[in-house]
Structure 1
Amino acid sequence: MNLTASLHPPKDNARLAPPWRHALSALLLLLAWVLFLYRDTGIAMVTIWARSETFTHAFLVPPITLWLIWRQRQRMAGQAPQPAPGVVLLAACVVFGWLLGDLVAVNAVTQLALVSLLVLAVPAVLGWPVTRLILFPLGFLFFAVPIGEFVMPQLMVWTADFTVSALRLSGVPVYREGLQFVIPSGSWSVIEACSGVRYLIASLTVGTLFAYLNYYSTKRRVLFVMVSILVPVIANWIRAYMIVMLANLSGNKLAVGVDHLIYGWLFFGFVIMTMFTIGIRWAEPDKSDKTIEAEKARQSTAPPFSPAKLWTITACFALLAALPHIALWSIDRAEGNAQVSLTAPRALAGDWHEVPQVGAGFKPAFHNPSAEINSSYASQDHTVGLYVGYYRHQDYDRKLVSSSNVLVVSKDPQWAQVASGSRSITVGGQTVDVRAAELRGTDLYSQVNPPRLVAWQIYWVNGTLTASDYLAKAYSAFYRLTGRGDDSAVIIVYSPKNQAGGAEAALASFLATNYTVINELLLKTRQQ
């Protein structure tokens, strides 16, 4: 008896064999169940696609994935579905990762976990032999996750470095401070739109698809993907330099305003088309047809299909997918809904007393805290500003650690961050690291001696101090899992740079004297 023939009817027969009917039904039900349970995560992904030009291309990823799978239908027909129970263990790790990500409201983690669950459902139900045939289409689905903006700060620095160096080599005098620089015709600033992250993510997505469709050797595919990463980065540097030079030579009549972005996309499109035109010259012929018969021959040794095994694994996977939602409901219920109030003390230890606001109304850009204070204190010749943003019941709209929570936004009309680093200080009897930054007031081009602030920042997570975004998230997840809530705060102290004795001495003295008072204030707030 020919097992392959019994499992897979001839191509001209439109009916599916019983194993495939069972398997596809189970897979569709499982995918629908996962999408239903994690619908909020999925909706958040689509919302980001719609509002961010960086990830608009993600709308095309699911249909492209389905098309890529459809192209492999004949090869898949050479295999019988064989559910893989071991995949359930991998799914257990993924759902736990989703739970941790949701506890601390990290979109990237929850969305990666959702896509991972959808992908793992395939080998769980259809088995690894079938999954290997569509491994790239399943992997391509991860391009639907709106992730990658974490590289933006570094890309902005590289763009500024290249642009300033190229301008100087072109004979244009440049004065640079941070991501802002001045040339004789005006001032420029490298902001998020200038980072090139949009070009990079778009190029990587399209370049990876191009490599898969046109090359069949791993070496060529990897090489082209690397080119897809390097080319847009370098092209963005050249684009930024060309725009500044064009504006400078035209007396700021060209390449400013909306022209700035239009010229950028036109240049990027030309570069990418050139890259693909060159890449197609080394395209390889499709060899997939030659392997179909060999795959069908190997299928003759496959174990018999078991519907009971299929539905058991599907049920276990479905139950596992529901467990983090049960755990999250239990954690949220235990934490309650108490409101938070935070009042700035009028006096602190060491003769520090409240004074009018320093720093020309400076306030860190931390969004939607549960409570906050922003006061200034003086002692002898030192003046220090204190900002505390307190967060409770954190979610995707209110969270301590977020890419949008910064000292100064790039388009702030009053302040710009021109330097950053870290300092080790002693507070509360322990040595901790803090983030250090220097801020400059007003526009660099219009004022000779603008005001400057030195700012230090640290996170307080249920009494634990850290300057790391990642550790702050990890501590918060741990405390929520152990039933201690998610109460957290950011502590920022800032001082005029040019004050007597120096800003850093003032900040160190203030924290050494008053951290205990601040900690007690936060602990008291935590008990509310």
Structure 2
Amino acid sequence: MNTVSTPSETKPAAERKRPSSGPAAPSSGLVLAFAALLLPFVIYFETASSIAAIWERSGTFAHGYVILPISLWLIWQRRTTLRTLPLQPYLPALAALAVCGAGWLLAELGEVQIVRQYAFAAMLPLTVLALFGVQVAKAIAFPLFFVLFGVPVGESLIDPLIQVTASFTVDALRMTGIPVLREGNNFSIPSGDWSVVEACSGLRYLISSITLGCLYAYLTYRSFLRRALFVLASMLVPIAANGARAYMIVMIGHMSGMTMAVGVDHLIYGWAFFGLVMLLLFWVGSFWRQDQEAAAPAPDAAAPRSARMVPAARMAGVALGLLLAIGVWPAYAYYLQHGQGKAPVAALSGFQPAVAAADSFTDWKPGINEANAHLSRSYSVAGQPLGFELFYFRQQHEGSKLISSSNRLVGDDKSPWHDMGASVRSEGIGGRQLAVRESILNGPRERRLLVWQWYWIDGQNTVSNFGGKLLQVKQKLLKGRDDGAIVLLYAPYEENPDAARAAMRQFLATGLAPLETVLVSNLKP
């Protein structure tokens, strides 16, 4: 008996099972994963806001506004590949997130803002890894890494860059045949006086060049070696270019009789020169460019969409693990820091060393953050004028920190005083050694000050910023407090500072113990 097949029965099996080519609605697991991506921003909103605040107030880091949009654009460029990859949450990434959270906690207790911000930024790519898996994270590794460029970092390089720029400029002027008299970051030539200040350090050029260099290397080259070499060039070229820029500015001012390159045009010339240098760098780099390789066929492109999805229940469990891994640390930080009392300002008045008081002998004032208590006095020791400053901190926060790069002996570039450098000394005081950071300040009319500085934290003295931060973390973890003080002792001198040092030693021989007694009394509940 003959049978007749219907058209549907004669179609190949593969054709009958071909999935619909129309767009599919996102699964609930995928929606939950994208929602969980926002958890770091919600939990660490204050840290994220501190990053944006620096972008707002500092032109050096204004590029941070475009970092996340660029990262998202780079990810969007990979959307075709990403659609073919399976979602496989990677649970070991939760442990890495917990480590970042612990690092954030230690930085919060030690008031180390840069570590706090980097810990938060590192959570963003790790969150993608935890929720979407290794294959997805690997496919967009550079855009995820690029997010770290949004963290405002580099202020610690300002002083070294100033020294490099000043040395380069002075050496170049001397090679040109122009006599130069240098004192620190200030130098004089026959046509006028110049000073290499923070704006001349070239930090903006360096940060912009490294950021653009990494992006250009990713988009232009395929091999690791070429990318690494171009990034290295983007680090070295702006340093050399900034020295050349400073020399060019001085020469323009010198040749014009100090009528050009001494005002706003100073900055215009600088940025124009930097733009030209970057264009040349990219032009030279284009000779070794590598075109995009042809995309290989995506694996499992025809696999059922359900095979690439994660059930909503499993994704909810991963999101809960993410919440616990990063959420416990801010809660614990709040617990440790909650309930501190106000700094006892009046208690500092109990410091009365056995020396005669004298009127103020200088108009110099240090640029220190706002403290909870401040004591400022002048003394006379064996006929030597002496100044004493004490800044006491408690419940530290942004704008009121014991150890901060914004705490400087010279507050700003407009001050008539200049910091000529510092060194660490160990002084014998009352049968024990006291480490102090000794600085020399030059002021108007060639006046000079010798300054001794140290930190007092939880009953211990230190001159190390790193050691001080560790003491702060220990104090907060064990006692839930962050009390500390900056101590400054200073004296004027002319040629030889030995007399000033002797007077300061004599002052501390009778005053150090009473000072520490007063400070320790503030730690009592």
What is the TM-score of this pair, normalised by structure 1? 0.90
- What is the identity, as a one-letter code, of the residue corresponding to 2:515? I
Find the partner of 2:115 among 94, 97, 109.
Answer: 109
Query: Is the CA contact 1:363–1:387 (under 8 Å) kept in the aligned structure 2?
Result: no
Alignment of 1:235-384 (within 5 A): 235-287=241-293, 289-290=295-296, 292-293=297-298, 305=310, 307-337=312-342, 339-344=344-349, 347-349=352-354, 352-358=355-361, 360-384=362-386
Structure 1 pair 337–324 and aligned structure 2 pair: CA distance change class (3 A): farther
Report the counterpart of residue 12 of structure 2 in structure 1.
Answer: none
Find the partner of 1:144 among 138, 146, 150.
Answer: 150
In 2, distance between residues paired with 1:144 and 1:183?
A: 40
Report the counterpart of residue 482 of structure 2 in structure 1.
Answer: 486
Structure 1 pair 404–169 and aligned structure 2 pair: CA distance change class (3 A): same
| Pair 1:456 & 2:462 matched | no
Query: Is the CA contact 2:351–2:518 (under 8 Å) kept in the aligned structure 1?
Result: no
- What is the identity, as a one-letter code, of the residue corresponding to 1:56? A
Q: For 1:299-338, what per-residue CA distance to the aligned partner results, in whole angstroms no more than 9, with x for missing partners? A: 99x9995544332121011123221222122122232345
Query: Is the CA contact 1:243–1:255 (under 8 Å) kept in the aligned structure 2?
Result: yes
- What is the identity, as a one-letter code, of the residue corresponding to 1:272? M
- What is the identity, as a one-letter code, of the residue corresponding to 2:319? T
Report the counterpart of residue 389 of structure 1 in structure 2.
Answer: 391
- What is the identity, as a one-letter code, of the residue corresponding to 1:522? L
Q: Secondary structure at the match of 2:338?
A: helix
Structure 1 pair 288–74 and aligned structure 2 pair: CA distance change class (3 A): farther
Q: For 1:423-473, what per-residue CA distance to the aligned partner results, in whole angstroms no more than 9, with x for missing partners? A: 12234654343211110111xxxx4xx111111111111111111112212
In 1, distance between residues paired with 2:67 and 2:377?
A: 49
Aligned length: 507
In 2, distance between residues paired with 1:185 and 1:400?
A: 42
Query: Is the CA contact 1:181–1:187 (under 8 Å) kept in the aligned structure 2?
Result: yes
Report the counterpart of residue 37 of structure 1 in structure 2.
Answer: 43
Q: For 1:324-377, what per-residue CA distance to the aligned partner results, in whole angstroms no more than 9, with x for missing partners? A: 22212212223234553354568414xx2221123x122211120111112122
Report the counterpart of residue 514 of structure 2 in structure 1.
Answer: 517
Structure 1 pair 454–127 and aligned structure 2 pair: CA distance change class (3 A): same
Q: Per-residue deviation at 1:254?
A: 0.5
Query: Is the CA contact 1:365–1:409 (under 8 Å) kept in the aligned structure 2?
Result: yes
4+ residue runs over 6 A deviation: 297-300
Q: Secondary structure at the match of 1:373?
A: strand
| Pair 1:424 & 2:397 matched | no
Q: For 1:115-170, what per-residue CA distance to the aligned partner results, in whole angstroms no more than 9, with x for missing partners? A: 11122111101111211111110000011111111111100110011111111111
Q: Per-residue deviation at 1:382?
A: 3.2
Q: Secondary structure at the match of 1:436?
A: strand
Find the partner of 1:466 among 462, 475, 480.
Answer: 462
Range with greater deviation from structure 2 (211-220 or 311-320): 311-320
Report the counterpart of residue 411 of structure 2 in structure 1.
Answer: 409
Query: Is the CA contact 2:33–2:315 (under 8 Å) kept in the aligned structure 1?
Result: no
- What is the identity, as a one-letter code, of the residue corresponding to 2:410? V
Q: Secondary structure at the match of 2:136?
A: helix
Q: For 1:488-528, what per-residue CA distance to the aligned partner results, in whole angstroms no more than 9, with x for missing partners? A: 00111111123785222222333343211111121123337
Find the partner of 2:101 among 72, 87, 95.
Answer: 95
Alignment of 1:113-192 (within 5 A): 113-192=119-198
In 2, distance between residues paired with 1:121 and 1:282?
A: 35
Structure 1 pair 342–180 and aligned structure 2 pair: CA distance change class (3 A): farther
In 1, distance between residues paired with 2:308 and 2:228?
A: 35
Q: Secondary structure at the match of 1:341?
A: helix
Structure 1 pair 501–465 and aligned structure 2 pair: CA distance change class (3 A): closer
Query: Is the CA contact 1:366–1:407 (under 8 Å) kept in the aligned structure 2?
Result: yes
Q: Secondary structure at the match of 2:450?
A: strand
In 1, distance between residues paired with 2:482 and 2:414?
A: 30
Query: Is the CA contact 1:377–1:383 (under 8 Å) kept in the aligned structure 2?
Result: yes
Range with greater deviation from structure 2 (160-169 or 498-507): 498-507
In 1, distance between residues paired with 2:175 and 2:304?
A: 65
RMSD: 2.5
What is the TM-score of this pair, normalised by structure 2? 0.91
Q: Per-residue deviation at 1:378?
A: 2.0
In 1, distance between residues paired with 2:44 and 2:497?
A: 56
- What is the identity, as a one-letter code, of the residue corresponding to 2:116? T
* Identical positions, percent: 36
Find the partner of 1:508 among 482, 500, 505.
Answer: 505
In 2, distance between residues paired with 1:526 and 1:327?
A: 22
Bigger Rg, structure 1 or 2:
2
Structure 1 pair 345–311 and aligned structure 2 pair: CA distance change class (3 A): closer
- What is the identity, as a one-letter code, of the residue corresponding to 1:481? L
Q: Secondary structure at the match of 1:15?
A: coil
In 2, distance between residues paired with 1:368 and 1:468?
A: 21
Find the partner of 2:491 among 479, 489, 495.
Answer: 495
In 2, distance between residues paired with 1:338 and 1:147?
A: 31
Q: For 1:270-311, what per-residue CA distance to the aligned partner results, in whole angstroms no more than 9, with x for missing partners? A: 000110111112110212602x435869999x9995544332
Q: Secondary structure at the match of 1:335?
A: coil
Report the counterpart of residue 15 of structure 1 in structure 2.
Answer: 24
Q: Per-residue deviation at 1:16?
A: 5.4
Query: Is the CA contact 1:461–1:476 (under 8 Å) kept in the aligned structure 2?
Result: yes
In 1, distance between residues paired with 2:108 and 2:301?
A: 44
Find the partner of 2:524 among 513, 524, 527.
Answer: 527
In 1, distance between residues paired with 2:254 and 2:473?
A: 51
Query: Is the CA contact 2:206–2:239 (under 8 Å) kept in the aligned structure 1?
Result: yes
Query: Is the CA contact 1:98–1:114 (under 8 Å) kept in the aligned structure 2?
Result: yes
In 1, distance between residues paired with 2:155 and 2:365?
A: 25
- What is the identity, as a one-letter code, of the residue corresponding to 1:341? A
In 2, distance between residues paired with 1:186 and 1:342?
A: 50
Segments of 5+ residues of structure 1 without an aligned counterpart are none
Report the counterpart of residue 227 of structure 1 in structure 2.
Answer: 233
Q: For 1:160-189, what per-residue CA distance to the aligned partner results, in whole angstroms no more than 9, with x for missing partners? A: 111111111111111111111111222111
In 2, distance between residues paired with 1:346 and 1:339?
A: 13
In 2, distance between residues paired with 1:103 and 1:429?
A: 34
